[in-house]
Amino acid sequence: MAEVLVTGAGGFIGGAVAAALHRDGVALRCVDRRPLDEWHQVVPEADNVVADLSGVDACRSAVQGVQSVYNFAADMGGMGFIEANKALCMLSVLIGTHMLVAARDEGVERFFFSSSACVYAADKQTDTDVTALREEDAYPAMPEDGYGWEKLFTERMCRHFFEDFGLETRVARFHNVYGPLGTFEGGREKAPAALARKIAVATLTGDHSIDIWGDGQQTRSFMYIDDCVHGTRLIAEGPNGPPVNLGSSELVSINEMVDMLEEIAGIRVERRYDLSAPQGVRGRNSDNTALRARYGWEPTTSLRDGLERTYAWIHDQLVTRYPVSSRV
C-alpha cells in the first residue's frame, strides 16, 4: 500500500522528489499523464500509473489509500511556453481543484501544492535591480497572465480547504528550478537549460554564436534541483503556514549566467539579442526571510556550482549528435 502520492511524477521536479522519497523508504504511488518511457525518471518499485488528473474520477483513484499528496501535475514550461499557452496553463486548475476534492473525500492527511513565483504582482518586478519578493507581494493580485493566475487561484483553494474542511495543506512558491535530468530542448525549457544547451552546441559545432532572448540585462534567481527537493520536503512535512518562497536569493542577469557558462565550457560566444522574444518580468528574486524563520534553512547551491553539473549533463546528452569532425 502506498503511503504517499506524487502527481506529475514524470516531470523534472516530481520525479526528483519521488526518487528522494523512495531512497528514504517511503512507499509511493506515482502518477503522470505521459507514457512511462517519457518520464524524466522512474522509481521502478513505486505503483506507477499513467492517468490524466484533470478529471475527478482519476484523482479519486489516485488518492485511494494514501496518507499525503505532493501535487506537481500541471502544464508548464519556460517563458516561451507559458506566454504562448495561457489557456492551456490555466486549465491546470482542473487538476488542483479535483485533487483537493478527492483528497478531502478520501481522508488524505496532508496535501502539498507546488506554486510558482509567477504569482507575484507584475508591478513589483519592473526593474533589473529588483527588491526581493516577499510572500505578501502577491497581493493586490496581478500575477503572470495564465500560468500565474492558475497558481494563485489554487493557492487560495488550498487555504480554504484547510479552513473549511480541515485538510492540512502546504504551499511552496518555486523560483526557477534547474539541474540535470531537466527539460533542455523542445520549447518548455527554462533559461539555465536553454543557455547551457546553446553553449554546448557551440562547443560541439564550432559555431560560437548564440541567440539570447531580450537584452540580457533581465535578472532572476535560479534554484538547483537538490535544494528544491530538500526544501519541498521541509515545507510539505513541516508546520502549517501560508505560502512560502522556495528559491535561491542569488540574483543574476542573463548575461552574467552566460558569462558563467562560457567559463565552464572554456569558450567565448557572440551574443545575438532577440528583443522580440518573450522575456517575462524585468527582474525577480526570492526573499527567503520567511523560509529561514519557519524552517531554519534556505537554498545554498551557488549558481556557478549548479550550472557546472547541469552543463556537464546536457553536454553529455548532445555529444553523440555531432560528428567528431564538426568539433573545434
- Report, as residue numbers or ranges, the catalytic residues: 147
Using only the alpha carbons of the chain, give its radius of gyration.
20
CA distance 153 to 150: 5
CA distances from 259 to 5, 206, 266, 275 (A): 40, 18, 10, 19
Helix (H, G, I), strand (E, B) or coil at 308: helix
Q: Which three cell numbers stand for residue 45?
A: 518499485
How many CB atoms are closer than 10 A to CB 11? 25
Conformational region of residue 213, where left means phi above 0, alpha means psi within -120 to 50, and beta covers everything else: beta
DSSP structure string for 110-125: EEEEEEEGGGS-GGG-
Query: Residues 219, 248: contact at Cβ < 8 Å?
Result: no
Place of cell 523508504: 25
Query: Residues 33, 18: contact at Cβ < 8 Å?
Result: no
Helix (H, G, I), strand (E, B) or coil at 314: helix
Q: Which three cell numbers stand for residue 148?
A: 500565474
Helix (H, G, I), strand (E, B) or coil at 286: strand
CA distance 8 to 71: 7
299 prior amide bond cis, ω within 30: no
